[in-house]
Amino acid sequence: MDAVDSIIQSKHIETVLIAIPELDSDDLNAVFKTFKNKVDVIKYLPQINGLVTFDTKTEDFDGVLMISNSRGLYHFGSHVLKRILDICAGLCGMLLLIPLTIFVFVKNRKEGDKGPIFFTQNRIGKNGKEFKMYKYRSMVMNADKILEDLMASDPAIREEYTKNKKLVNDPRITSAGKFLREKSLDEFPQFINVLLGQMSLIGPRPYLPREKEDMGNYYYDVIATKPGITGMWQTHGRSDVDFEHRLVLDEYYYRNWSFWLDVTLLLKTVKQVLYGHGAV
């Protein structure tokens, strides 16, 4: 701090950013005074505890700074663009379902698996309304019963599934299912849900009804928008993200949503599918 004056002059500094959000008001004022009248712009990172989003606005409330926390999903024009993107993606996805379904059918039959190719599962949709979500069956038949037996016999498996709601080395996954999961292709039948308006291409994870209690207060933010085939947690860690972190990412998506955020997440999803990093 003793060299501030000389650095500002020698480097022709015009803007200072104070990136120490844990400073109390007295220390922050002292730092402000150090730079006052020496640079054109002073910026600082306040301690906001995650309540401020990219749609947040600052207002003058009778001489007092007030923060207005808005919601991105209220933008009508962007919401229309989102639905148009969903319809276009849904139609393209349905075309890709044809060869992919043939591949899964042949693969399963060669391995003696004569069970159904698809399966449906109840998931939590917008406003908490449940819907039947379509997926390729990537596990053996009676997978839920096998999971119950595994959890009853192995405390480590029970702890892992309770924490993450999935198993890293799940013995129930079929050969075709392993390939589908590595490339995130097991989600493709959800394009049917997208066309039906039950899901979106981009959105929060479609949670299971039994996970509602574990979601806590995150539940109300998550159900404020349609669940997505892909979203924040799929593009920011995928299988490396635990259940709590997924909820944090899904809450972030809701509070900071914009059409361009959807475009960014879509591009990241395509990249991850191609390179197979962090597969579910």
- Domain end position, chosen among 53, 73, 93: 73
Confidence (pLDDT) at 280: 44
Same domain, 178 and 261: yes
Q: Give the number of other CB atoms < 10 A from CB of residue 205.
A: 24
- Domain end position, chosen among 26, 55, 73: 73
Same domain, 83 and 221: yes
Same domain, 61 and 109: no
Q: Please check whether residue 253 lies inside any domain of the structure.
A: yes
More confident residue, 71 or 60: 60
Same domain, 31 and 103: no
pTM for the whole thing?
Answer: 0.66
Task: For the chain, give the number of residues.
Answer: 280
- Per-residue model confidence as pLDDT tens digits over 175-214: 788 888 777 788 889 999 999 999 999 999 999 999 999 9
Same domain, 118 and 246: yes
Same domain, 120 and 61: no
Confidence (pLDDT) at 195: 93
Same domain, 225 and 271: yes
The average confidence (pLDDT) of the chain is 83
- Per-residue model confidence as pLDDT tens digits over 115-132: 888 888 999 999 999 999
Q: What does the pLDDT average to over 133-148?
A: 81
- Domain end position, chosen among 73, 88, 120: 73
Instruction: Compute the distance between CA of residue 71 and CA of residue 257 in angstroms, rounded to an integer.
Output: 8
Domain housing 47: 13-73
Q: Which amino acid appears at position 192 of this protein? A: I
Same domain, 57 and 190: no
Adjacent-strand bridge partners of 131: 123
More confident residue, 2 or 12: 12
Q: Please check whether residue 19 lies inside any domain of the structure.
A: yes
Same domain, 26 and 49: yes
- Per-residue model confidence as pLDDT tens digits over 248-270: 889 888 888 888 889 999 988 88
Q: What is the largest CA-CA distance in the chain?
A: 78
